[in-house]
Amino acid sequence: MTRPTDHTITVVIPTFNRRAQLQNAVESVLQERRVPIFLHIFDNASTDETESYARAVAAQDPRVSYTRRPENVGAVGNYSLALASISTEYFVPLADDDWLLPDFLHDAHQVLEKEVELGAAVFVTEARDPQGVVAATYPAALSEIRFGLLRPREHLEDWLRFGHYAWSSILWRTRTLECVGAPYMHVGLPSDVDFQVQIFCHYPAYLCNRPGAVYSLHNAQASGGYDVSHVRSWARLFQRLDREIEGQSIFSRGEYFPLREIMRQRYRPCWTAPARADMTARDRVAAACLAGFRLGDWETAFSLIQGVQDAANASQTVDRAVFRLPQIGSEAMASHPISSDGTTELVASVLGWIKQATEAIDRLEQDNVRLKSEMAVLKAELFAADEREERARILAGQNDRKRILAEAELEALRGHPLLRAMKRLRLLRPTKAA
């Protein structure tokens, strides 16, 4: 193994039981010889031929180092240990099933060498299916995002709106790790998303509209394992995001909240998928609290506690009691027996009450909309009736004036000398009115 120079790029590849894919990733790194490269493979106690292959590569190329874990520490743990080992000026975390494209390391290295203030050089990642067809890209909206040197505010506006990057095609400056802090993978499976935004809140980045790496799409991907049990991870991610955005004064709240909601809706399917394994009542209630209070996803929160109270009522064997909030529509506090896990049942009852209150508020709001609509109709009808009444009053007044004029004309006609003479000569037939 050669000693890395100050401007070396360390490429870390955490791996487990992916001998064939690993070779593709390794070769994509070692083909670059124009810039100093140090490749470090972190084997998470693989049981296939990964060890023999990695040791052979390390023996053949002095730019390669191999570390094997005595036992599997999990994917997140393996990545954390890999990131903690970096001591060179630059680094790339490369997934063992992805690979780099020619020129990426060289071109990204040139960018960061030229612009010392940059925290990262971000290239496009192509997501390819097993047949090699490009199914998507990271970033996704290539025609809408900005490229070039971007400050945190303008960069994060696009990042929050259009999504994170695949970090295999990002060359990072090592000092940016201080923004994230050990152990670097703070939120479990979505730690790559957290990792990016923590750094982008502090450092400008350069976005290049050229492919730099390939993200391999297949059924065994770790990112395909998201389900409702990962609510805690996403709640932690958004908590850290909120803290950094406010701490760095990147956006006003009025600017940030709409962008945050766009991001929340984009990632929501990651924590709403059905759990792949059974969750205990305690886990379901804890996840419901985080979904509701941290993520603002009360629909998921209510679905998580559905059945928790019923199950608790069915299994009560202890004669202790807990006072619960009254049912909506009732003023009486209720006392219910609880099991040994009283805290879980108490929290579940509070969430259940919030669900009832939310449903009641929804009904009242719907009733309010309906009543406002009915009131508008009645007002319109009343206005129309008032108009008809006014028209009738006007017509009545007009008719009254016409009648008075007609009577005056008739009276004047009766007094005419000619008419009186005709009456005396009996040339006119008298009328009843006369």
Contacts for 24 with CB less than 8 Å, ≥ 6 apart: 99
The tens digit of pLDDT for each residue in 86-123 reads 999 999 999 999 999 999 999 999 999 999 999 999 99
Residue 139 CB: number of other CB atoms within 10 A?
A: 20
Contacts for 388 with CB less than 8 Å, ≥ 6 apart: none
**pLDDT tops 60 at residue 79:** yes
Q: Return d(Cα 304, Cα 424) in angstroms, integer.
A: 108
Q: Which two tokens stand for residue 365?
A: 């709001």
- How far is residue 110 CA from its own chain's centroid? 34
The tens digit of pLDDT for each residue in 138-191 reads 999 999 999 999 999 999 999 999 999 999 999 999 999 999 999 999 999 999
- What structural domains does the chain harbor? 1-97 (3.90.550.10), 99-277 (no CATH)
pTM: 0.77
Q: Return d(Cα 420, Cα 413) in angstroms, integer.
A: 10
**pLDDT tops 60 at residue 432:** no
pLDDT at position 193, please?
Answer: 97
- How far is residue 236 CA from its own chain's centroid? 13
Angle, CA 116 vertex, CA 114 and CA 122 arms, to 5°: 75
CA proximity to 201, closest of 140, 251, 255, 266: 251
More confident residue, 239 or 344: 239
- Contact yes or no for 200/155 (Cβ under 8 A): yes
Q: Return d(Cα 17, Cα 78) in angstroms, integer.
A: 13
Q: Return d(Cα 123, Cα 101) in angstroms, integer.
A: 10
